[in-house]
Amino acid sequence: MAVTIRDNTKNGDAWNEWATLLNAAIFDADAQQNSYDDLLNGLAVVDSSDRWAEKQATFGGLGDFEYKAEGADAVDDEAVEGYSKLMEHITFTKQAIISKELRDDNQIADAKQKVINMVQAYKRSRAKYLSQALVSSVGTTTTMSFGGKTGIDISGADNLALFSAAHPLKSVNGTTQCNLFTNELGTDPSVLNALSNQMRNFKDDRGEVMGFDADTIIVPGNRPALERFAKAIIGSDGEIGSNKNDINTERGQWKLIVDYLWTPATGNPFILQSSKALKALLGTRFFNRTVLDIENDEKVESRNLVYNGFARWSCGFTNWRHVIMGGSSNAAAQTLTI
């Protein structure tokens, strides 16, 4: 990640006798890969940005090759541009206070924990922001609130929620596609195959079938039965919930992500994701505009040592075809006949 630590602009760090120890604690906490980093990287394509916002667009492929007579020119064709999405970076801050009394008492361990907690809070906040945007963009919900900021845009490039029953094709009139279903995983692994088949047959904005297979199951962190069944599907040799000798056709086909920051109050929703489509379509994007930037100073009025953290980031959905939700109780969700 690479945290930036800025010395006091007037006096440098010579006045701060704890600077070397606290800076080392910050860099160490930053270098340690944790579950928040893993979750962020599992749910999105993470990239950096040096602009105030990032605009992303999707493109349909070229049309099929066509016959050309001898000596004739090749048939001209153009890639069809799909919908575009502007993702504006938002600023978030936090500061850690190390009191004058704590410094006088030489409680260095407590001071180190405070700055380590700032790094962890930063990593946790990014993951929570992405997770909330992903699981909240359902049906007609296209905004969210986070960290005191309201009205954050979490719509997709087509101005609908990421999970919607009526995604339009830009170049094909009257055609919509659905990636929001009521079908629960329950105890029937055939639901996975049915929903994956839906994803495989999603069409691009030109109307061409894309053929991406789902390979990742994302489940909430407060649904242990759903998590356990998903693990059984992934690892069992035989057919799940049966004494038949049939093989488990889903074995080895799936990766499980438990989004422990996703804790729905009701229902048993889950998400299927194609890791190939996520990358190829840049479906879910997360941009680091300013990674954690920390400046320290002493507050004259209290003699407290202040470590101030500053960061900017954004996330958004360039495409929706990399994910499909099942088990949804949303009023707009469709029921797939299996």
Domain ranges of the chain: 4-56+82-212+277-326
Name the more confident of 125 and 4: 125
pTM for the structure as a whole: 0.88
Cα-based distances in Å from 228 to 193, 234, 250: 18, 10, 15
- Residue 267 exposed, middle or buried by CB count within 10 Å (0-12, 13-18, 19+): middle
- Asked if residue 233 lies in contact with residue 189, where contact means CB atoms within 8 angstroms, the answer is yes
- Asked if residue 264 lies in contact with residue 222, where contact means CB atoms within 8 angstroms, the answer is yes
Predicted local distance difference test score (pLDDT) of residue 10: 46
Q: Is the dihedral of CA 27, 30, 307, 291 positive or negative?
A: positive
pLDDT tens readout for residues 110-123: 888 988 888 999 99
Predicted local distance difference test score (pLDDT) of residue 245: 54
pLDDT tens readout for residues 130-174: 999 999 999 999 999 999 999 999 999 999 999 999 999 887 777
**Token pair recorded at residue 107:** 């409680």
Q: How far apart are CA 60 and CA 14, in angstroms?
A: 58
CA proximity to 199, closest of 173, 238, 230, 163: 163
Predicted local distance difference test score (pLDDT) of residue 84: 85
Most distant CA pair in the chain: distance in Å?
89
Q: How far apart are CA 306 and CA 209, in angstroms?
A: 56
pLDDT tens readout for residues 232-275: 877 665 555 555 555 555 666 789 999 999 999 999 999 999 99
Answer whether residue 311 shows pLDDT above 80: yes
